[in-house]
Each structure stands twice: as C-alpha cells, then as structure tokens.
Amino acid sequence: MNYFSSDFKLGILGGGQLGKMLLFDTRKFDIQTYVLDPSEEAPSKIACNHFVQGDLMDFDTVYSFGKKVDVLTFEIELVNLDALVKLEEEGVPVYPSPKTLKLIQNKGIQKDFFSQHNIPTAAYNRFDTTTSLKTAVENNKLSLPFVWKCTEFGYDGNGVKVVRKATDLDALPNVECIAEAMIPFKNELAVIVCRNPSGEIKTYPVVEMEFHPEANQVEYVICPARIDDAVAKKARAIALNVSQQFHHVGLLAVEMFQTEDDEILVNEVAPRPHNSGHYSIEASYTSQFENHLRAILDLPLGNTDSKVAGIMVNLVGSEGHSGPVVYENIEKILGWNGVTPHIYGKKQTRPFRKMGHVTIVNEDVNEARKIAEQVKNTIKVIS
C-alpha cells in the first residue's frame, strides 16, 4: 500500500487538539486526511484535506464518513460503536478496533476487564445509578470515603468526584457509575504503549503526572518520572501486559498509581494519543502522534526513547474568564530556552478548558520542572 502522495485516505473521528497534532505528522508524510467533528470551529479543520461536520454518536453520519476512507482511526472514545462494527465487517480497517473500544469506552466494563485478566487495579463496585450507590452507603454496604466515577462521557476530571460524606452524592448526576476504593499513593504515573497489526510493540518511558488539586486535571507531565528504576520497569511491564490483553492497535495510554509500598495499580486506559504523551513532540525521537500513525498503517514503529528530559504544562482557561481567548505573556515565554507553546485553536475559553500546552526540554529534569513552574506562573489564558 502506498500511503504517501497517493489516493490513500485516512479518516479521523474527532477534530480536537489530538487530531490537530496527529495531522502535523500526516502533513509531514503527505498522507491525505478526512476529519469528522461536530464543531464548525474544530481545531483540526485547518490541517486536514477534507473536513466533515457531523455528530460522532450518530450511526449514519459515522458510517457514511467511514465508507469514504481506506483506514479509520479516532482521537476521542465517544463515537458510535455500532457504525464502527459495521464498517469493520465491510472491510474498512478501524484502529483501535471496535472490540477494543467496546472494552474501554465504559469505565465499568473497563474495570471488569482488569479484574477478569488479573490486571492490578483498585477495588470497586459497579452501580446502575447514583441512587442505588446512595442506598448502598445508607445500608452500610459501602464505606466512605471513595471515588465516584460515571462510567460514560467523563473527561478531564469531569465525571470523577471524591465522596467523603454521604451528602456529597446529592450533587452528582444520577447515572451508571462505579465507587472505587481510595488508594493512598505516592505518584500518578502513565505509560504509552504503541502496537501495530504485525504485533511490533514498544513502550514510551514512564511519566509522572502532577494534578491540580481542585480541577482534577493534569498540571504537569514529567518525563522521565522521578522514580526508582525497579518501579519504572514494573510499570512498563504492566503496561505491556495491559496492551496485549486488549489486543489494541495504535496507542494505548495506561494511567497508574504507585502505592506507598511501590505496587503498581492500573487506574484507567485510553486507546488514542494522550495528554501524558504531548512532551514527546519535542523530547522524544518519535512523537506519540507519529507512532500512532505508524502503528495504524502497519509501518515500523519509531524509537520511543527521549533525547532529553521533557515536561509538559497544560494551558487551561483561568477561573473567572469565559469568552474569546487571549494568551497573556506568551511572548515572554517564547524568549526562554527550550520552551515551546502549542495553541490548540479553540477560539473560546472557559475555566479549566484545555486551550494548549507548553513543553519544556532540558538536560536536567529538575531544572525543567523549575522552568515549567515559571511558565505556569507567567502565561495566563484569559478572555
């Protein structure tokens, strides 16, 4: 198959920032791209060959889009699964496959999969509604505190809440959910695994994630993680095992907890390029986006090693600001060594909305972390 400068068409479901960054590499290789997204202002619109506006959850829209392309991938899990199944049955390669997506799309099914395959994870209970979870608490069948997670449609800290007292449940939507044991952990880690249909498989180095205390969003991603080699080895081995159990093709981001006694528990997975891999654009020999492309096209995978330490800072909308976006002090950080901003192209900001990220590269990870803090304190996303 000739992918380059040819009639080959790659379809991408979702036109957000992940799609936009993936399209940087399709353009580098001159691969023709089609993107489907509900928003007329989707960040990917400026970078693809053909943009289609439409509902990702609508069967007919996704099915007819898929019939136009030679290979189909996605940058968001919330897509119509039945359409993907039918497309695959009719011979359109879909990567990651609908079978993989079905096991991951719903967090309850995902947790059951971990249990069934002896993948270490926090203890949990599934509930069909928050009301039935509340009843379990009232009948002392569940002890507080725990982490409430809706099983579908959660993203970026939305759909996750720490429940410390029974009344905390009153403010939560009445949806299918899980109650997960609170894990006392030292670090939140992630490993990105890439795998192609031929079975070649590679992992990126372990990264460490620092979270915003209120928004439950990643503030910093640090590569390499500041952990013992033995713990890093264990994390990569578990991520490889998770990938092989899911039989995924493309990228799989495996988020984990490192417990107080250095056990590794899998928190959740995402079958696509991931926030925890953005550092790789500047810091790795092959970025996560290029490797996703290589994987889904069954090309040899690129080197996943880092050339240099990398830290990513998420740029999110400042509290109290909603409306047309302004990036304050961006010219200041552009004058600093090893600092690269990525602006996603969302015209409207709102509190905690992901608007971009900044990568800081440095030979010394601790020095990079200091600069990352300065970046965070300097640049403001306001309206």
**Is 75 labelled as part of a ligand binding site?**
no
| Amino acid (1-letter code) at residue 282 | E
**Is 107 labelled as part of a ligand binding site?**
yes
CA-CA distances (angstroms) from residue 71 to 32, 43, 66, 97? Answer: 11, 21, 8, 11
**Is 183 labelled as part of a ligand binding site?**
yes
Nearest Cα to Cα of residue 193 among 98, 92, 263, 266 = 266
Q: Report the sign of the C-alpha dihedral through residues 230, 233, 239, 245, in that order.
A: negative
**Is 149 labelled as part of a ligand binding site?**
yes
Nearest Cα to Cα of residue 257 among 270, 268, 248 = 268
List of residues 6+ apart from 190 with CB closer than 8 A? 206, 207, 209, 221, 253, 254, 255, 256, 274, 276
**Is 12 labelled as part of a ligand binding site?**
no
**Is 188 labelled as part of a ligand binding site?**
yes
Q: Kind and range of the H or E element at 124?
A: strand 124-127
**Is 86 labelled as part of a ligand binding site?**
no
Cα–Cα distance, 170 to 228 (Å, whole number): 42
**Is 180 labelled as part of a ligand binding site?**
yes
DSSP 307: S
Question: Three-class SS of residue 380?
Answer: strand
Q: Kind and range of the H or E element at 21?
A: helix 17-28
- DSSP string of 183-249? --EEEEEEEEEEE-TT--EEEPPPEEEEE-TTT--EEEEEES-SS-HHHHHHHHHHHHHHHHHHT--
Annotated binding residues for ATP, written as ranges, equal 107, 149, 180-183, 188, 267-268
Annotated binding residues, written as ranges, equal 107, 149, 180-183, 188, 267-268
